[in-house]
Amino acid sequence: MEIVLEAREQALVQRAADFAREQVAPHAAAWEAQRRMPLETFRAAATAGLGGLLVPTALGGQGLSYTATARVVEELSAACMAFAFSLVVHNNLADNIARNGTPAQREAHLPPMIRGERVGAFCLTEPGAGSDAAAVRTSARRDGERWILDGRKAWVTNASVANLFSVYAQTDPALGWKGIACILAEDTAPGLVREAPYVLIGGHALGTGEIALQRCAVPAGNLLISPGDAFKAAMRGIGVARANVGAMCCGMLRASLEQALAHAARRQVFGRPVASYQGMQWQLAEVETNLLAARLLTYRALAALDRGEDGTLHAAHAKKFATRAALSGIAECMQAMGAAGLRDEHSLGRHLAGAKIAQYLDGATEIQNVVIARALFRARGVETA
């Protein structure tokens, strides 16, 4: 499918590609070695106009379509998926505030978020509530003119540097998912404790970790989305995020294939370029086919979202296929480069770790199968468990 963008959107995608080439790619290996989230580069990205991608222009953002935003994400992910996802999480919270926030919340939070002075984080997952997102146990209790939050949030992207957390908490366990509210908590709130970042196999630019909420008190005006609506908003946001993960996988796989092709063209084996061997040609041809298929599924989902349709099923197909294609395809590209694919000067090792991480982001592959299977049987009048 052809991806049609407005001229201003195309310009921003090009700006993202230039930023990725000049300010992300040269440093991504060092961030990984240092196991750190590069806050200075995050702020530079915001200065380049990448801090409010989905926020309407009337509120100071770029007002991009979901498709254009994903193209920005794809270009950044070709250099570093973890950095791109960190920026996506921040942008999604800014979009959430723009859509659902009060005028006071928009005025307080959007300008510094768009400028990169304040970093956002999304807090839904808990140590005991991952795939079953509705099983939130963090509690929110109204106490006069404040909310009291108690619990723990896990796998929080940007946890190491975030200034603003959107916390999904249960106000009434008897109501199930309908009792979940979304409440904003600043990093200075009493009782909010930032834990040490996770040590992972890769992707440390995510700044992923946990936060503890120990009788954390925030103003009553920090309620972003009321019970009954918050969980539905979270699921909608996750659907968008899944499509973006598909775009990230396309970026990583495209960059890996480009490196493998260049290596095969110049590397001599038994007096001939590696690229002259049919086995190598077919190996990389398979990667290219899967890359094209992943992009088709991904941008079909984004087009549906831009039309205002429910893109849940399309996004599930895209994330499921694109993450699998990236994981297997990047491994094939590494194999095509021989031992050279293991060197830090090439990005394939980081991309391989990123592809594996992508299989867990915003719902594991198995959860995508749940979404797809339910849709298949519901169309035939059968409700699944």
Q: Is residue 1 in some structural domain? A: no
pLDDT tens digits, 3-15: 889 999 999 999 9
Q: Give pLDDT, residue 131.
A: 79
Would 384 be classed as within a structural domain?
no
The answer to whether residue 383 is domain-embedded is no
pLDDT at position 129 over 90? no
Count the domains in the chain: 3
Q: Looking at the structure, do residues 105 and 191 belong to the same domain, yes or no?
A: no
Residue 95 and residue 139 in one domain: no
- H or E segment at 72? helix 66-77
Q: Are residues 67 and 89 in the same domain?
A: yes
Q: What b/e string do you get for 52-76 counting C-beta neighbours within 10 Å, with b at 16 or more?
A: bbbbeeebbbbbbbbbbbbbbbbbb
The 10s digit of each residue's pLDDT in 286-299 is: 999 999 999 999 99
- Residue 142 located in a structural domain: yes
User: Above 80 in pLDDT, residue 121?
Assistant: yes
Answer yes or no: do 162 and 173 share one domain. Answer: yes
204-229 per-residue burial string, b: 16 or more CB within 10 A, e: under 16? bbbbbbbbebeebebeeebbbbebee
At 343, which CATH number? 1.20.140.10
Task: Work out the burial of residue 359: count CB atoms within 10 Å of its CB; fewer than 13 is exposed, 13-18 middle, 19 or more buried.
Answer: buried
- 300 domain-assigned: yes
**The domain that contains 82 carries what CATH number?**
1.10.540.10
Domain boundary among 166, 200, 227: 227
Do 13 and 114 share a domain, yes or no?
yes
Judgement on whether residues 257 and 312 belong to the same structural domain of the protein: yes
Q: What is the pTM of this model?
A: 0.94
Residues 76, 74: Cα–Cα separation, whole Å: 6
Looking at the predicted structure, is the pLDDT value of residue 2 above 80?
no
Q: Which of 85, 118, 151 is the last residue of a domain?
A: 118
CB 183 within 8 A of CB 222: yes
One domain, residues 243 and 372:
yes
Question: Could you tell me if 261 and 358 lie in one domain?
Answer: yes
Range of the domain at 150: 121-227
Clarify whether residues 177 and 50 are in a common domain: no
